[in-house]
Amino acid sequence: VSAEKIGLFFLVSNAITFFLILVYPGIIARFKNYRVSQVVLGCNFIALLAMYFANSPFTLFTAFILLMSSLNLIWINMDIFIENFTAVDSAGRTRTTYFTFMNLGWVAAPIISSYFIKDSNYRPVYLLAAALLIPFYIIFIRQGRDLKDKIKYEKDHIKEIVRKIFKTKNIRGIFSLAILLHLFYSLAVVYVPLHLHENIGLSWGQLGIAFSFMLLPFIIFELPAGIIADKYLGEKEIMTLGFTILIISLILFFSVKSTSIVVWGLILFFSRIGAALVEAMRDSYFFKIITAKEVGLINFFRTAQPLGYLIGTGLGTIILIFYPIQFVFLILALLMTTSFYFLWIIKDTK
């Protein structure tokens, strides 16, 4: 599959995911979170098997969309489960503990996958992922008594949810900050590797090591940040630090010309410290100001990811028409400065 088709896959899957998330609150309110989760996990399993057995572009395209959509939807189900068991004063620690274990999986996945990828054949990875999903599904079913819904979900129409977001400064602010974070991810994930390989001259082998090192801040910093937010500072100050680090990192991506893998490894690590702090505090803050029954708000909050990626895809394409690839980082740094306005309008939890 060509790079252009991969870009199309992501564009279409994010657009479909966005619209699925919009109708997801009604589905959860009607059929309950536990039952819907079972179906979505099943869809994810089917998508992984389809990716393994796909023998045509159409099958691969359909399976990819189902895979990406089900992944995004299951995180919403997980959000609701966790919110049901989380006290407001411990939301930071609970959310960041959840993120830490999840990020351990993200760090381990490339290492494990490398043992199964032979001659650019990625199919065994999808089969492995499907196999690993089976014990998780069994545990999920066995814990059904504890996970079954015990609250009545609000059935707000999408217009009411949007109105509530725009009327409430705190929700509007944190939603905007979430979009900015995913805008950073959407452009950094695509254009940083291309810039470092094509313009700086680093090999893909060097970049693989650097990118693994880059992910460590998500394991190291998120849980301590959650504890600090709960006990001492609140989320606002930590998010301010995180966005400041992101802006500085983007300027470094634009300006540094070094060909040293050590230098770039440190810059990448530094950038993900900022991303980890923002990611952790984004969820900690949001889930402190809402409740599990507000399923519409939780769903809409998660549209920040596909929205950020859709905006990033379009923005990156437009920038590259007029400027070299490194200008993506400079323009993104300028856009990231708007985060300080949204941080200013939200009320801290401490």
pLDDT in tens, 194-204: 899 889 998 87
Q: Please provide the average confidence, as pLDDT, over all residues in the chain.
A: 86
Residue type, 165: I
Q: Does 210 map to a domain?
A: yes
Other beta carbons within 10 angstroms of residue 67's beta carbon come to 22
Q: Does 281 map to a domain?
A: yes
Q: Is the pLDDT of residue 2 over 90?
A: no
Where is average pLDDT lowest: 32-36, 112-116, 159-163?
Answer: 112-116
Confidence of residue 136 (pLDDT cuts 50, 70, 90): confident
Q: Which residue has the higher pLDDT, 302 or 327?
A: 327
Burial category of 210 from C-beta neighbours within 10 Å (exposed 0-12, middle 13-18, buried 19 and up): buried
Q: Does 149 map to a domain?
A: no
Question: What pLDDT is recorded for position 117?
Answer: 65
> Number of C-alpha atoms within 13 angstroms, CB side, residue 219?
13
Residue pLDDT, tens place only, 267-302: 999 999 999 999 999 988 998 888 777 778 888 888
Q: Does 219 map to a domain?
A: yes
Q: What angle do CA 284, 211, 187 make, to 5 degrees?
A: 65
CATH of the domain at 49: 1.20.1250.20
Place of tokens 């769903």: 299
Q: Which residue has the higher pLDDT, 45 or 33?
A: 45
Where is average pLDDT lowest: 103-107, 149-153, 328-332?
Answer: 149-153
CA 68 to chain centre: 12
**Mean per-residue pLDDT for 306-329?**
89
Please tell me the distance from the alpha carbon of residue 154 to that of residue 294, in angstroms, as a whole number.
6
**Mean per-residue pLDDT for 98-125?**
75
| Alpha-carbon separation of residue 144 from 34, 75, 140 (angstroms) | 8, 17, 6
Q: What is the maximum alpha-carbon separation in the chain?
A: 57
The 3-class secondary structure across 54-103, one letter per residue, is CCCHHHHHHHHHHHHHHHHHHHHHHHHHHHHCCCHHHHHHHHHHHHHHHH
Place of tokens 């500072």: 233
Question: What pLDDT is recorded for position 3?
Answer: 47
Q: Does 350 map to a domain?
A: no
Beta bridge partners of 121: 118
Phi then psi dihedrals of residue 118, to 5 deg: -125, 130
Please tell me the distance from the alpha carbon of residue 63 to that of residue 69, in angstroms, as a whole number.
10
Q: Which residue has the higher pLDDT, 39 or 31?
A: 39
CB-CB contact of 44 with 140 (8 Å): no
Confidence of residue 120 (pLDDT cuts 50, 70, 90): low
Which residue range(s) make up the domain with 80?
3-144+155-345
**Domains contained in the chain, number:** 1
Collapse the DSSP code of 203 into the 3-class scheme (helix H, G, I; strand E, B; otherwise coil) and give the result: coil
Q: Does 150 map to a domain?
A: no
Q: Which of 74-83, 276-285, 300-309 has the highest mean pLDDT?
A: 276-285
Helices (H) and strands (E) counted in the chain, each on its own, are 17, 0
Question: What pLDDT is recorded for position 256?
Answer: 94
Residue pLDDT, tens place only, 225-264: 988 988 888 899 999 999 999 999 999 999 999 999 999 9
Please tell me the distance from the alpha carbon of residue 23 to that of residue 17, in angstroms, as a whole number.
10
**pTM score:** 0.81
Q: Does 77 map to a domain?
A: yes
Residue pLDDT, tens place only, 148-185: 666 666 666 778 888 888 888 999 999 999 999 999 99
Instruction: Please give the DSSP secondary-structure letter assigned to residue 148.
Output: S
CB-CB contact of 50 with 62 (8 Å): yes
Output Rg (C-alpha) for the chain, integer angstroms.
20
**Mean per-residue pLDDT for 51-70?**
89
Confidence of residue 118 (pLDDT cuts 50, 70, 90): low
What percent of the chain is modeled with pLDDT above 70? Answer: 91
Phi then psi dihedrals of residue 265, to 5 deg: -60, -40
Phi then psi dihedrals of residue 38, to 5 deg: -60, -45
User: E strand or H helix at 172, and its extent?
Assistant: helix 169-194
Place of tokens 């079913």: 141
